[in-house]
Every structure is written in structure tokens, then in C-alpha cells.
Amino acid sequence: MIKKITAIHGMHDYLFPNTLLWENIENIIKNILNNYGYQEIKLPILEKSELFKKNIGEYTDIREKEMYTLLDKNNNSLTLRPEGTTGFIRAIIEHNIFYNNKRFWYNGPMFRYERPQKGRYRQFHQIGIEILGLKSPYIDAEIIIIINNIWKKLNITNNVFLEINSLGSIIDRKEYVKKLIFYLEKNSRFLDIKDRKKIYNNPLRILDSNHKNIKELINNAPKLQDFISINSINKFKELCQILNFMNIKFTINNCLVRGLDYYNDIVFEWKTNDIGKGGSKTICGGGRYDKLIDNMSNRKINKGIGCAIGIERLILLIQTIQSIKIDIKFLIDIFLIPIENNHILQKTLLIGELIRNNFPKLKIITSYLFQNLKKQIIQANKYKSHFIIIIGQKEIDNNSIIIKNLYLKKQIIIPENKLISYLEKIF
Ligand code: ATP
Ligand code: MG
């Protein structure tokens, strides 16, 4: 017995027709990003571990328990990227591309050692956008408008809701965290062991805890909003005004803190209640990271903002509410059937190439099954083929071709030299 080797827990294969839905969604997102002048950047999946260790924040979920870290043959510590922003900034610094006003997007797999469940995997995919060098709330709004337009095109606007918050500057936050720790220490008896551990490491994350029994504790906690500077408050207000002006619905959630330490000022998340049980799930999250680039280089850019969409969660939502229907009436346009024999095969090869050259968008398969015609037609139906073209000795002798519309169940015989003009009428 050969032992079956299975995929790694939490990592998935994606099969047809999900791949088709995925491609559709990706294309919709890419077209919109292109429309706003964003440029693709392709980044490595593996990075030096220190990149993430230094920049994501010591006491975040990712750093504490989710990193996929391994040693290479030279004992270098490498990590499969858990998110896109830090690798993006690394690349920007490395290539010295600090042009203000430049906008980027990336697309690809991320890796986090999480407990796998619906919408939470160990390998998942994100499409992210990043902008450096701009501080206007109009650019914060642009990102939100873009994502909002993506939801519109995907027909999910009514199934997602936007929450925004301001975290203030990193200095404001430090002052606040001191007060919060003091408060939580005093009330630590209300917290479970897991949250108690967070008091000194990541007290902000206690605030977005879902535990019902500490809701009151959270409600009475000192508010970050009382600590943030007037400058941050004004930026936040301006963003809210732009969103109102653009008729984009949002709610202000002062408990929204996000899972990474590098954020400041504006943070936002789109959530949905429509995938699986267990409350709302975030499908896109982002915010400002003005200090990240300066922390990683000697530059004083002091401006950066980005967000990432979780593709699997988006697909789960779209599948649940059926907001995009994939038309799989015909998967193949033409299924070419040679009736066996070498020189018929050669003829079929030529005809196949001729049609493909004239109709580069059509999907054309040549059958090499060499079974009887009936069985091959069954195959063509299984492939959801629209037409079949049959080429046999008789057809070659007569310079003719049999074309059958499998959907209408109609067949005609045409002269070979009329094939392209005939197909032009159909496609
Ligand atoms: P969560 O609070 O759900 O763990 P997060 O704050 O860790 O999310 P981000 O780091 O903001 O998530 O990543 C952006 C998006 O990527 C999320 O909103 C989600 O859609 C997706 N995502 C994050 N982790 C996973 C995962 N393990 N599996 C699938 N998608 C994920
Ligand atoms: Mg997480």
C-alpha cells in the first residue's frame, strides 16, 4: 500500500470552477486598480525573519504565534510572509523608489500558523494596495472609494459594512497605553488568563475582544479618543466629511485597533456577517503606517497608507450570496475530433492552429482519445463544448468539414476553405 501524502493542514488546492470565479474576481479588482493608476509590484514570498520580527510588533498575534519560520541550509532564519506591507517597504527602500504620489498593488499568498477554520487558513491570499508619500485625507478616502467600488462591481455592497477609527499618532498612543495598563491592572480579576497576558504586551487588543462578559469593563476603560492630538482628530474628521460627501456609509468604531503595531491615525475594516457562524468576519483591513518606512530606513518619508483584501473570505461571501454567477454553459468553444490515423491527425493539427490563429479568444481542444466517435462526442459534452468539428478520411477526400452545434444538436458540412468565414459568423 502506498501511503497517501496529503496537503498541509490549513493549505488548500483550488479547483475548477472556483478557479474561474477567482480569476473573475481578480480581474475585476485589477481593472479598478488600473483605472486609478495603481502599479503592480511582485514581491518574494520568503523574507529574512528579522524583517517581520523587527517591524510587525513584538506582541501581535502574528509575531507571537503565527509566523511560519524555517531555517535554510546555511541556518539563515527565513519566514514565509504573513502579510504584504513590510516586504513592500523593504523593496521600496532596496530599490530607492520613494516617489511621492506613487501607488502600488500586490497579489499573492500569505502564511500564518493559525487554527484552521472556515475563512481562516494557514495559506491564504491577499490583494493589497500601498501608497507612500501622501498625507492628505483625500488619499485615505481614495483607498476607501476604490474598495467601495470593488464591492459594487462584485455586487456585495449590501453584505459588507465599513468601520473606521483613528488611533492617533504613535506618541499619543504610548501615553494612552500607560493609562490603559493602569486601568486593566486594577481590573485584572475580570479578565481571563489569555487577556491578562495581554495587559503588558498588547493591551489595545483587549479592547476588540469579543468576550461578552468584559464588554462593560471595555466600555468603562479610558478612551484612546481622549488622548489623541487635535491634528489627528482633524484629519479623521476631514476623512469622515469626504466619505459623507461621496455617500459612502461607515460607522465609527472606537474599539477598532487592528492586529499590527505599525498603524497610526486612520484605520478601517470592512466586515461581513454573511460567512459562516461566529459573528462578523473582516474581508478587508488597512490603515496609515506613517512611521514604518522611517523605522526601516534613514529616510524621512513619514507617510504611508495601505490595505489588504482577503481573497478566500471574499470568495466565501460571493459564493454564499451568489453575487457573481459564473456562466459555465460552455467551457470549450470547439472540440476537434480526428477520426484516428496519422495523416488525419496532421490535418487536424493544421486546422486547429488555423482556427486558433484566427480566433485567439476561443477555447479549442483537440481530442486525442482515439475512441469511437460516439464516445468522443460524450467527452465533448462532458467538457461542455459548444461545437465539435469532426475530421475523417471522407471529409479529407471531399475537402469538407463537419461542424456540429452540440447545444442546438444541429450539424452541417461545409467546404474546408469556408471554415473561417463560417466561424466568423458564429463567434
Ligand atoms: P483576523 O482578525 O480575522 O485574524 P487580521 O487582522 O489578522 O484578521 P489582516 O492582517 O488585517 O487580518 O489581513 C487582512 C485580511 O486578510 C483579513 O481581513 C482577512 O480577510 C484576510 N486574512 C487574514 N488572516 C487570514 C487567514 N488566516 N485566512 C484567511 N484570510 C485571512
Ligand atoms: Mg489574524
- Amino acid symbol at 27: N
Q: Whose CA is nearest to atom 29 of ligand 1?
A: 120
Kindly report, residue by residue over 50-63, the tens digit of the pLDDT: 999 999 887 788 88
Better pLDDT: 4 or 371: 4
- How many other C-beta atoms are found inside a 10 Å radius of the C-beta of residue 285? 22
Report in angstroms the alpha-carbon separations of 177 from 165, 181, 183, 222.
16, 6, 10, 9
Which of 124, 143, 280 gets mutated to test ligand 1 (max ligand atoms within 8 A of its CB)?
124
- The predicted pLDDT at position 209 comes to 75
pLDDT tens digits along 360-394: 999 999 999 888 899 999 999 999 999 999 999 99
Q: Report the mean per-residue pLDDT for the chain.
A: 93
Question: What is the whole-number distance in angstroms between the Cα of residue 348 and the centre of ligand 1?
Answer: 50
Q: Indicate which ligand has the atom closest to the C-alpha of 65.
A: 2
> Three cell numbers at 352?
486547429
Distance 159 CA to ligand 1 centre (A): 18
pLDDT digits 0-9 by tens, 305-363: 999 999 999 999 999 999 898 878 899 999 999 997 788 999 999 999 999 999 999 99
Number of alpha carbons in the 13 Å side-chain half-sphere of residue 59: 12
Distance CA 402, CA 388 (A): 8
**Nearest of 125, 104, 107, 124 to residue 116 by alpha carbon:** 124
Summarised one tens digit per residue, pLDDT across range 212-266 is: 778 889 889 999 899 999 999 999 999 999 999 999 999 999 889 887 778 999 9
pTM metric for this prediction: 0.91
Gap between the Cα atoms of 80 and 76, Å rounded: 13
Domains of the chain (ranges plus CATH)?
18-169+228-321 (3.30.930.10), 332-426 (3.40.50.800)
pLDDT mean over 36-46: 97
- Residue 101 clears pLDDT 80, i.e. is over it: no
pLDDT score of 212? 75
Residue 39 makes CB contacts below 8 A (sequence gap 6+) with 102, 103, 104, 105
**If we measure between CA atoms, which residue out of 344, 342, 355, 346 comes closest to residue 388?**
355
Whole-angstrom distance, CA of residue 283 vs CA of residue 115: 18
What is the per-residue pLDDT for 61? 84
